[in-house]
Amino acid sequence: MAVITIAVCDEIRKDAQKLYRQLSTLLPDAEILIYRSRQSLLDGLTEGHKICNVVFMGLDGENGKSLETVRAIRLRGNYIPVIMVAENEKFYKEAFEVFAFNYLTKPVESGELEHVLLPILTTCEREGGKALHFHYRTQVYTLQHNSLAYISSSLHNVTFHLTDGKKLSCRARLGDFAGQLSDSNFMRCHQSFCINLEKVNTLKKNSFVIGQTEIPISRAYLKTARKKYKDYLAQQKVCS
């Protein structure tokens, strides 16, 4: 399932294709829709063909017709984030008069895309379920919390163990993800392990069992980990 749906509308075909490739590399799980004309985008959004999380709108060199398309979208009560992509800064002021989310000039670098998309990804996470984001090489990965069984760390490498048995790794430390995992059902139980309480099958004397894997609880975390797990179980009984 796509974590985010992105619409790209740029009537300069090569620019639209380049942006598509950049976004596909940066967000491999995203669904990216290409609109060949401003009218097709307007029709799609108006008629509800597809719910998009963000639109990248190419700006014309001189006449600014794309701004009129965004204005038409706003007049119909749709305040989807629109990121304007222009040849220069000529329409910078006008773009924000139609409530553009951001304004980029060509050629757009991947780092710029990552920067402007991060708050939108955060909003999608808040509205559609919590997720964890991490950057590895040239890609940004997004993992829904409920797809993660546990996380392990060794020698500055973090491995995400998914519920379907797959693994993803990146160069980082376990503590680097503390902020993204706060206010969730993830719990540190060892210097090298963080577990998803929702996926625990059994609590043993000094370990948790998730599936066929036994995850140790270190002495430093033992008291806190056992209490938090029991509190979690008690809360589940109340909710049920």
Print pLDDT tens along the chain (240 aa): 346 889 999 989 999 999 999 999 998 878 899 998 888 888 877 654 456 789 999 987 656 788 888 988 888 767 788 999 999 998 999 998 888 999 999 999 989 998 999 888 877 766 556 778 787 766 677 787 888 999 999 988 999 998 888 888 888 999 999 888 887 889 999 999 999 998 999 999 999 999 889 999 999 999 999 999 998 888 776 554
In this prediction, residue 240 carries a pLDDT of 42
**Assigned CATH for 130-239:** 2.40.50.1020
Helices of type H across 98-142: 110-128
In this prediction, residue 190 carries a pLDDT of 96
Q: pTM for this structure?
A: 0.55
- Architecture per CATH, domain 5-126, reads as 3-Layer(aba) Sandwich (3.40)
Secondary structure (3-state) at 115: helix
Q: Using CB atoms within 10 Å of the CB of residue 47, give its burial: 0 to 12 exposed, 13 to 18 middle, 19+ buried.
A: exposed
Bridge partners for 195 per DSSP? 150, 187
Question: Which residues of the chain does CATH 2.40.50.1020 include?
Answer: 130-239
CA 16, 17, 18: angle at the middle one, nearest 5? 95
In this prediction, residue 142 carries a pLDDT of 75
* CB environment 173-196: b (16+ within 10 A), e (fewer): ebeebeebbeeebbbbbbebbbbb
Question: Which residues of the chain does CATH 3.40.50.2300 include?
Answer: 5-126
Is the separation of the CB atoms in 67 and 95 below 8 Å?
yes
Contacts of 33 (CB under 8 A, 6+ apart): 5, 6, 7, 8, 44, 50, 52
Is the separation of the CB atoms in 64 and 87 below 8 Å?
no
The span from the CA of 16 to the CA of 149, in Å, is: 38
In this prediction, residue 56 carries a pLDDT of 96
